[in-house]
Amino acid sequence: MPNPLRRPLWAALAGLCLLVAPALASAGTLKWRPPTLYNPVVINIAAGNFMASPMNHPDCILNWPKTKHVGRVQIFNCHNVVSIGGYNTVPPTYLSNGTVDKSNSPASRILEVSGATGVVHIEGLLGDASGGAMSDGLVFNSPAATIQIENVRIDGIYGYSDQFHADCLQPFGGVKALRIYNFTCRTGYQGMSIWPVSTSPVGWTADIERTNIVSIGPIIWGTHNDGGYLYWPCRDTACTNMALTSFYSVYLQPRSGASFASTVYSTSSGVLVSTPLVTTSTITFPGLRVVGGVNYGAPPGGDFVPAGVAGVSYVSPGYQ
């Protein structure tokens, strides 16, 4: 008989698209349950830059250290993945002459999950820039997988256009579905970079709820640094195969002196097939595959994932 991770958990329904405002989870509980795991491989994340690629696409549990981990973490070729808790930061990569590598060569990110084929459940993770390196937050190359991000805080990552963009999250190789509930990110450059790529499946979805993205610090100016968008839905004018996206209680906070309109690519007329509609308090997306919109500033009650919730002492509140 297969051995699940714990009491059987409801398997997440991959590819579910929400065309109306989703129901709120019960007070304090989370919306998306982890997948049921069978005969899972436990991946113990060791010190330093860490990569794991188990054979035969098993279900995987990520076991984070009980103290802050320092080093990028890359997980390849699991089926389902469950990661609950954990704290990670990324140190600089040094060249042979002792200087910091400022190229795009280092895979500098808090967590990468690539080649997954089931449900990837990331809950209660804390990532920050205390290690001293420019880095991205959460990145995915898993076009067959549903990604669930809950109670995650990415705090203070930074970068610029010609190196790491400090994306809070980016499905750079595609995902089947992106599900976010309770997510806070403070970034020096970019936020949710969820434009379609060549490997994004047709009909992919993004359900984003209770999320706030904050621009921090002065932008690091350099060649090509004219981006820094907190939400980037598509890159080509036609928005071909952009995700069917549902926003509910999503907030974008520009840095001091920047306009609300500058948080989204692109509110300039004629750049996208349908120009987003900007008011003083909301940006909506008539004519694009987006239900709802984004709000200006901070949530009325503060960060959806306050400091101290995510990390090594994280305790899941349970699921609705």
How many other C-beta atoms are found inside a 10 Å radius of the C-beta of residue 158? 19
Q: Is there a contact between 139 and 127 (Cβ–Cβ < 8 Å)?
A: no
Tell me whether residue 32 is in a domain.
Answer: no
Instruction: Kindly state the average pLDDT of the residues 236-243.
Output: 96
Tell me whether residue 96 is in a domain.
Answer: no
* C-alpha Rg value of the chain to the nearest Å: 19
Degrees, nearest 5: CA angle 44-45-48 = 150
pTM of the model: 0.90
First-to-final CA distance of the chain: 28
The two three-digit tokens of residue 277, written as one number: 């509609």
> Could you list the residue range(s) of the whole structural domain that residue 195 is in?
41-90+105-296
What is the DSSP-derived secondary structure letter of residue 65? -
Q: Please say if the pLDDT value at position 215 is more than 80.
A: yes
Tell me whether residue 232 is in a domain.
Answer: yes
152 SS3 class: strand
pLDDT confidence band for 108 (50 / 70 / 90): confident
| pLDDT value for 107 | 74
Write out pLDDT tens, residues 26-72. Answer: 558 999 999 999 999 999 999 999 999 999 999 999 999 999 999 99
- Phi, psi for 311 (deg, rounded to 5): 130, -160
Q: Is there a contact between 216 and 156 (Cβ–Cβ < 8 Å)?
A: yes
Higher pLDDT, 21 or 242: 242
Q: Please say if the pLDDT value at position 17 is more than 80.
A: no
Tell me whether residue 312 is in a domain.
Answer: no
Residues 305 and 320: their CA atoms lie apart, in Å, by 18
